[in-house]
Structure 1
Amino acid sequence: MQHPHGVQPWGNFLLNGGADIRSTGLGQLRVLSDDLLLTVLGLLPAKVLLSCSATSKALYCFCNHEELWRALTLQEFEGSFRYSGSWQHTYLAAAGLTEPGSQPSCGPLKVQGLYSDILYQPWFCATTPIREEWLERDNLERRSGLSLEDFRQHFELPNRPVVLSDAAKDWPAQKKWTRKYLRKAFKGQAVVAGNYPMAFDDFLAYSDGATDDMPLYLFDCEFAAKAPKLATDYKVPEYFAEDLFGVLGESARPHHRWLIMGPPRSGSSFHKDPNATSAWNAVVRGSKKWILFPPHITPPGVHASADGADVATPVSLVEWLLNFYDAAQRGGVRPLEGVVRAGEVLFVPRGWWHFAINLEETVAVTQNYVSSAGLPAVLAFLKTGRADLVSGCAEADRADLHERFVSALREQRPQVLESC
């Protein structure tokens, strides 16, 4: 399968005789590296970008790079757009420069002799098949019919992941949460996808046509307020019923529950959950591939600052799989991994690095929580006084979260506070 503009990876340059159109096509811009050139082009307004694309075949390829047009669309229109097959065409339609729903009169121009990993890699990651070897390993422990005490002793206290294969199978959501049902539930409401408010129908249109290497992901912490009946379609599994942040009240506690939905290849890159909390993630429809590393093992290809405030990862999930999955298998500590399917719930212990990629359109519910077992870690985290590391609350409420939490525990759950 060929890049839509004929761009080839840099490794093909010598194989094809060492001739390219970059230098002559870019003129004085040829001194810029590809990533710096894209940074400069990303500063241009759309009409100037279109004009530049007509000056040479090389600039045509750079100026039509999908990542530039995705950034322009999201910066100017946020979530107020209807996806039209490509980000450039989506931008033009949203800006009123083409008719909504119309299609380009001709296909993209294909060039010969342009080699660029920066242009080629995102397209390759978006189109390369998900490999069987990425899916076949399954060393996550799976349990059904687990008692509360067994869960606490064998998983929560030792801080070990487990898939609870029967914890969500009886939820009404398993049968009810079709696209039609969700569309009706969110009628007149905007959902949050890629950090932008978007009409649910527009998100579905995007999901159906998305060709990104890292598709937008619906991740909404206010879904229960926007669509109250969704909150009645599931129940917190009994293993996670104790959530001590609840003593703060719903409006004062950090964000803790999210509806998650996305097309294939969407998901979450490696991260640790906020505020030293643990989490559970239940798949309602579809399936997710999970990869988890224990707290003391930073995944290959991931670079985290000492305080955990900043984490740099590869741009897309498939890019990590292509470049680092094999290295992870050869490391001293291999990851825990497996596919979690509809009706199953994954327990994600505090501090564990985790990565999840949707293998098909997937709908899930996740909640972060603080139990008695995890309370000491959460209090220690909040006591550091690093308000910039606290997540899920208004900026004004971060600095005193530890004080407010301890005060509420002392009043409502003193025995838990005394025992930790």
Structure 2
Amino acid sequence: MQHPHGVQPWGNYLLNGGKEVRSAGLGRLRILSDELILAVLAQLPACSLVTCSATSKALYCFCNHEDLWRALTLQEFEGNFKYQTSWQHTYLAAARLVEPKKQLSHAPLKIQGFYSDLLYQPWFCATTPIREEWLQRDNLERRSGLSIADFRQHFELPNRPVVLSDAAKSWPARKKWTRKYLRKAFKGHKVVAGNYPMEFDDFLAYSDAATDDMPLYLFDCKFAAKAPKLAADYEVPEVFREDLFAVLGERARPDHRWLIMGPQRSGSSFHKDPNATSAWNAVVRGSKKWILFPPHIQPPGVHASADGADVATPVSLVEWFLNFYEAAQHGRVRPLEGVVRAGEVLFVPRGWWHLAINLEQETIAVTHNYVSSAGLPTVLAFLETGRADLVSGCAEDERAHLHDRFVAALRQQRPQVLEACLEEERSKSKMRSLASLFHGDTDAHLQDACKRHKGGCKGPGGADKVTGSPAVFRFNFADG
């Protein structure tokens, strides 16, 4: 299959005789990298892009790059568009410059001798099949009939992922959530896809026709308010029902539940969940491939700032699999990974890096973020850092005060849970003081001292009482 405009990767340059049209077509701009040229073109309005595309073969390829037209469409029309055969066609139809649902008057030109890895890669990722070898590895632990006590002891306290294979098997949503049912449920309301509100029918039309390397997908934290009957079609699995943020009330707590829906290749790139919370993710229809790394292991291809506020990842999920999946298998810690199918629920522990890619054309899931007594110390420590910019899911003016509001509500409604948490922190503080007395001494002496204090150095979740509570994870996770 060939790129629609004839763009080739630079690896083909010598194979094709060493002739290229980029330098002559760009003139003095040829000294700029492809990234800089696209950055300049991204500042232009649509009419200027069209004009530039007619000046040379090289600029034709740049100015017709789908990512530019996707950005223009979303910037100008947000979710108020009906997807056509391409993003350029979609923009022109939304701007009423062409008739919707009619083919454009000209076929794309195929340029000979134009090479660009930057322009070629998104198309290659969008057209590369999801490979079988990416799906074969499955080392996620799977359990059924798991009791609350067993879940807490073996997974929640050690902070380990697990797939609950039977937790959502009997949900009414498994049968009810057809397109017809969801259309009726969302009638009169828009859904959020790619952070933009759009009509549910328009989202379905986009999902069916999109050829993006990273498709938009529905990620809506207000779905239960818009369509209350959807919330009645599933129930929180028993092992996740202790959710201490509930003491704040539904309106005052951070966003915590989302309906997720999207076509094949859509999903979430690597991130840690917001506010140091844990999560569960239940697949209602379709299936998802998950890759998870423990908190202290940064996934290959992912670059995070020291405070975790900014995370740079490959543009698309398929791009990560193409470039980094095999490298991940040979790192010092291999990821946990597997396919989660309809009726199964994945527990995502606090602080774990994770990626999820939808494997079927219509994959639907429900996810909740929550804080139980096992994770409360970490959540309170995170909220107490004073970095309001790292708090997610609240109005901007409420972020800085979330810690105090949460503690006050716990003190009033769950005082025993709060006191147990504070006592644990006091114990850890004593151990830090004790450890400081042995500064510069041998590890053996320090470990002996720890063993004499309450029987060991390990706290909930495997936290080391010498060094204190688990690392405080900071997030800037935009919904979606």
Is the pair's TM-score, using the shorter chain for normalization, greater than 0.5? yes
Counterpart mapping for 1:89-238 below 5 A:
89-238=89-238
Corresponding residue of 1:286: 286
Shift of 1:107: 2.0
Whole-Å Cα distance in 2 between the matches of residues 352 and 220 of structure 1?
22
Shift of 1:410: 0.4
Deviations 1:363-382 (A, max 9, x none): 00000000011101101111
Corresponding residue of 2:431: none
Shift of 1:51: 1.2
Moved beyond 2 Å, runs of 4+: none
Is 1:4 aligned to residue 25 of structure 2?
no
**Aligned with 1:11: secondary structure?**
helix
**Aligned with 1:216: secondary structure?**
coil
**Aligned with 2:10: secondary structure?**
coil
Shift of 1:159: 0.4
Deviations 1:109-152 (A, max 9, x none): 10110000011000000000111110000000001111111111
Shift of 1:105: 2.9
Shift of 1:28: 2.2
Deviations 1:282-318 (A, max 9, x none): 0000000000000000000101111111111010000
Whole-Å Cα distance in 2 between the matches of residues 9 and 17 of structure 1?
14
Corresponding residue of 1:60: 60
Whole-Å Cα distance in 2 between the matches of residues 106 and 164 of structure 1?
53
Whole-Å Cα distance in 1 between the matches of residues 202 and 241 of structure 2?
35
Corresponding residue of 1:400: 401
Deviations 1:178-216 (A, max 9, x none): 111111111111100000000000000000011111100
Corresponding residue of 1:418: 419
Amino acid at match of 1:418: E
Corresponding residue of 1:76: 76
Corresponding residue of 1:240: 240
Whole-Å Cα distance in 1 between the matches of residues 287 and 85 of structure 2?
25
Shift of 1:52: 1.1
Is the CA contact 2:98–2:104 (under 8 Å) kept in the aligned structure 1? no
Could you tell me which runs of 5 or more consecutive residues in structure 2 were left unpaired when the two chains were aligned. 422-480
**Aligned with 2:13: secondary structure?**
helix
Shift of 1:57: 1.4
Is the CA contact 2:275–2:382 (under 8 Å) kept in the aligned structure 1? yes
Amino acid at match of 2:242: E
Whole-Å Cα distance in 2 between the matches of residues 34 and 385 of structure 1?
40
**Aligned with 1:120: secondary structure?**
helix
Whole-Å Cα distance in 1 between the matches of residues 15 and 242 of structure 2?
61
Could you tell me which runs of 5 or more consecutive residues in structure 1 were left unpaired when the two chains were aligned. none
Deviations 1:41-63 (A, max 9, x none): 11111011111111111111111
Whole-Å Cα distance in 1 between the matches of residues 205 and 104 of structure 2?
18
Counting matched residue pairs gives 420
Shift of 1:389: 0.6
Whole-Å Cα distance in 2 between the matches of residues 303 and 36 of structure 1?
21
Whole-Å Cα distance in 2 between the matches of residues 317 and 242 of structure 1?
33
Amino acid at match of 2:233: D
**Aligned with 1:197: secondary structure?**
strand
Amino acid at match of 2:117: D
Whole-Å Cα distance in 2 between the matches of residues 196 and 316 of structure 1?
19
Alpha-carbon RMSD: 0.7
Corresponding residue of 1:371: 372
Whole-Å Cα distance in 2 between the matches of residues 184 and 85 of structure 1?
27
Which sits farther off after the overlay, 368-377 or 13-22?
13-22
Deviations 1:320-368 (A, max 9, x none): 0000000000001000000000000000000000000000120000000
Corresponding residue of 1:300: 300
Whole-Å Cα distance in 2 between the matches of residues 106 and 239 of structure 1?
58
Whole-Å Cα distance in 2 between the matches of residues 187 and 107 of structure 1?
38
Whole-Å Cα distance in 2 between the matches of residues 48 and 394 of structure 1?
38
Amino acid at match of 1:321: F
Corresponding residue of 2:331: 331
TM-score when scaled to structure 1? 0.99
Whole-Å Cα distance in 1 between the matches of residues 171 and 111 of structure 2?
53
TM-score when scaled to structure 2? 0.87
Whole-Å Cα distance in 2 between the matches of residues 315 and 231 of structure 1?
33
**Larger Rg over CA atoms:** 2
